[in-house]
A and B are shown apart, each in its own frame.
Chain A
Amino acid sequence: MVHLADGVLLLAIKRLNGERSERSLYHVLNGKRSATTLQDAFFYELEPLFGQFPQTAYSYESVLKQLEKRGWLDRKRFRLTEAGELLASPESVEQLFKRLGGERRDYNATTWKRLSLFVQTFMSKEHARTFYPVQADRPAEQWVKQLLHLDRDWKALMRTFHQEIEQALEQIGDPYATAVVYRFTGAFETGLTYEQIASLLHVDAETARLYFLAGWNELLMVLPDDAKLRGFTYGLSTDRMTYSARESYELFLKGYTFQQVQAKRCLRTSTIEDHVVEMAMYLEVFPLEQFVPMEDVVTIEELRHPDSWALKPIFEKMGRVSYFQIRLVFARLKRGESFV
């Protein structure tokens, strides 16, 4: 049996284009917030997967072994075989892949914990049923407790939440809607495990898990800005930039130079460079010329092979620019800018 979840992993390997190592993908799947991993995810369009496949090195190894054994992966080059390419190519794989929401993982996961716990708690109290909390998450528990202390017409609000969820899921449709709805626990209905959802949808458990992640991510995307449910995202950010990079960014905004920022923060040059690369990746507007002379920007763009984000060939051909500078230019190119 080939499952959609296998296809998603294969597509990730395909996108890496043989330019990154097995280890690189491992860190992306586990959501390691290091500069290299963030850049890998950004350049090779793996952000939706970021941190959505937490696993041990041991189980990652066995997954790769399995893919190789089934003839889909060439581990020496870390590229797909022809058979593997075929499985990574269907539209359904791509659809699921791009909806996984790894770039907003914490935002999505926390919102889910809060809402699911709130619904279970409120409905159980309403029906005077004792319950076994589905979430074992202290911050979520405390958040829900505080929320329930607020004096609101909760019954009316619950009706609104219900409508908002239903309308959003109507737009998204099945199988995502089923995967999301059956994870909720009410006063009388306990949510289903991924295995159970899998048997409802006639897929494997891993695919069911991805349907849930994708469905929930989409729900938060299509939810109108003024939806009452947005209250459950209170205090959460969808910002992709790391906290440390943001601190540097704010100093740059105040007009400090690179050296001044570095001196003020007492960090290594390479660390501040990583922060600047994050800015180049995530900001709408970025003053590229402050870091790379325009003629070098143009040369880098011209030298880049259209299918590749490998830094080394450019570095070797040009000689006078640093890896840091190439990364910055690549980041803006990846965002769709052009300087030629």
Chain B
Amino acid sequence: MYEATLKRVFGYESFRPGQHDIIHAVIEGQDVLAVMPTGAGKSLTFQLPSYIKNQGLTVIVSPLLSLIEDQMLHIRERGERGVARLTSMESAEEKQDIINHLKRYRFLYLSPEQLAVPYVTRALANVKIQMLVIDEAHCISQWGHEFRPEYARLGELRKQIGSPQCMAVTATAPEGVKQDIIEKLALFSPEQFVHSANRPEIRLLVERLEKEKKLERLKELIQAIPKPAVVYTATRREAEALAFELEDALFYHGGMSTEDRRLVQSQFLRDEVSVMVCTSAFGMGVNKDNVRSVVHFQLPATVEAYMQEIGRAGRDGQPAFAVLLYADGDERIQQFLIDGQYPKDEDMRLAYFERENGTSLAQLPRLLRMNEEDPKFLLLKQLLTERSLQEALDWVKERKRDRYRQLGQMMDYALIRTCRRDYLLRYFSEQTVDQEECCDVCGPIPFPDTPQIVRKNVTEWKIRLTQIFSFE
């Protein structure tokens, strides 16, 4: 039905599974909740209706700068000029210019913080908005693995900009999270689309081994598995150390300069380097279809996070491999990281005490020795305005217990002796599927023979310079 537009604007011949139904619901004017795995083509589902309806601005809220950048790049690449973004990267002047000319644009990307800026909200209230899209909608739920306090206000902001049609998209959402999204965004009897979480092309493997043997095994594994490959680890330092140990590998994390990060992404995209080691907290924001393997050197914090991370493999539909290396006690790193995300009880008591005695919010970070940008502090600030001390303490305790429970579910994945795919699907309330080459419990999973990539030797700088400037 919408194939002509699909071809004209996006250059595709046909829809991918599930896309058409979502687009139809959007065009019919329904609120939509779409759960689609990464790489299933979700951005097309909110972009295409804009060309069919042509009824104003599509506003997309996204939590990560890298995701926004990546999507804008793709939109511009196909020749669409009517796209802008409001993030922390734009100067006040640029922002003003965009706000003054909202009519010029078809798509506006912004971070939740920017949407909450009063003059932005006001400007958006005064233009025709075709649809509000909430990307990574699971961030709104405190039950989700990536709760973001700044997402909590989105329901109210939606109302302030005139309650436009709303589409919530996310890659992963168990039942509790879905309910939370619907309530918090006040979606009006939304059409729900749940794309199966199963990725049949990805073979699932877990190797249990001793801590001391992990590095050695990782090195062998990287030799054996098909590449390009992504290795996930828990900390920046470990990412750097592993990249140093592995052949033809680069690390990637939030502590690098923007330029270096971009160089690494570009090299990986172009297959100039075959292994990328990154932290879970900072997966790359670029689409790469031919990732053949994802190896976890550390346990992720949740099953959802794991699904999202292995979801980077095999987007081209070709066979791919997800290997988790697990040693007893690995979960301690995650426990430590979870604890670090919430304010300590004594800090909370101190903060409430100081507030009651008239200390201003602005003075708190120094008293608590916290960075004012620290998510922990932002959370504390929110708790201070919304809850009593006892409620806040209980809330944090509850949240932590919940996170531990989720970590336990991830550990179970590593420890079970039954089909791993079955476990994952049941986690997402889905039916079991039977397939060949499923997981290491169901049967042996051989790695295909892969040609070892031989890297060109270093060239003398003059030759390299000539290559860069060559028109041949």
Binding site for B on A (CB under 8 A): 119, 123, 126, 130-138, 155, 158-159, 161-162, 165-166, 169, 174, 177-178, 181-182, 184-186, 188-196, 200
Contact = CB atoms under 8 A, between A and B. Distances in A.
Given A166-B462, A169-B461, A195-B243, 16 more contacts: A123-B468, A123-B469, A132-B266, A134-B266, A138-B90, A138-B91, A138-B94, A158-B469, A158-B471, A178-B461, A182-B464, A185-B263, A186-B470, A188-B467, A189-B464, A193-B263
Interface in B253-290: 256, 258-260, 262-267, 269-270, 272, 286
Contact of B262 (A133, A181, A186, A188): A133
28 contacts: A126-B471, A130-B77, A132-B286, A133-B262, A134-B266, A135-B262, A136-B258, A136-B262, A137-B258, A138-B89, A138-B91, A158-B469, A158-B471, A159-B469, A174-B461, A181-B462, A181-B465, A184-B465, A185-B266, A185-B468, A186-B470, A190-B267, A192-B263, A193-B256, A193-B260, A193-B263, A195-B250, A196-B250
A56 to B, nearest CB: 9
Contacts, number: 88
A161 B266 CA distance: 24
Top 4 closest pairs, chain A to chain B, by CB: A186-B468, A162-B469, A181-B461, A190-B266
Nearest to A127: B471
A194 B260 contact: yes
Nearest to B240: A195
Contacts of A138: 89-91, 94
Interface in B216-275: 243, 250-251, 256, 258-260, 262-267, 269-270, 272
B353 to A, nearest CB: 27
A134 B461 contact: no
Given A136-B258, A193-B263, A194-B260, A184 B250 contact: no
Contacts of B270: 188, 190
Interface residues of B, number: 35
A137 B260 CA distance: 13
Main secondary structure, interface of B, reads helix
B4 interface: no
Contacts of B469: 119, 123, 158-159, 161-162, 186
A169 to B, nearest CB: 7
B466 interface: yes
A117 to B, nearest CB: 10
A123 B458 CA distance: 21
B263 A131 contact: no
Contacts of A200: 458
Nearest to A116: B259
A227 B245 CA distance: 44
B146 to A, nearest CB: 23
A136 B266 contact: no
A162 B266 contact: no
Interface in B395-454: none
Given A132-B286, A138-B90, A178-B461, A119 B468 contact: yes
A165 B259 contact: no
Contact of A132 (B250, B251, B258, B262): B262
A133 B266 CA distance: 8
